[in-house]
Amino acid sequence: MMEREFAKWILDIAKYVVTALLLSNIFGNLSDDGIYALGATVVFMCLGLGLYILRRQDKKDKQREKNRNKNKNRR
C-alpha cells in the first residue's frame, strides 16, 4: 500500500517538472538547452521509477490475491 502511494508521488513530481518547464518557457525567456535536458532527464527518471514501482506492486497484489483464493478453497 505504501509503495503505491510513493509511486504516485513520484509520478506527480514528473508532472510538476513538466508543468514548470512549460510555464517557464511561456512566461520566461529560457534559451539554455541544458535546463530542458535536465528537466527531461528528471521527468523520464521519475516516470520510469514510478511506473516500475506500480507494476511491481500490481504483481505483488495479484500474487497475494491468488494465494488468498488458494487458501480459501482449502477450507
pLDDT grade for 75, boundaries at 50, 70 and 90: low
Give the rounded distance of the alpha carbon of 43 from its chain centre. Answer: 9
Q: What is the pLDDT of residue 8?
A: 93
Question: pLDDT, tens digit, for every residue of 12-31?
Answer: 999 999 999 888 888 887 77
For the chain, how long is the longest CA-to-CA vector? 68
In whole angstroms, what is the distance from residue 32 CA to residue 47 CA?
23
In whole angstroms, what is the distance from residue 13 CA to residue 52 CA?
15
Overall pTM surpassing 0.95 (yes/no): no
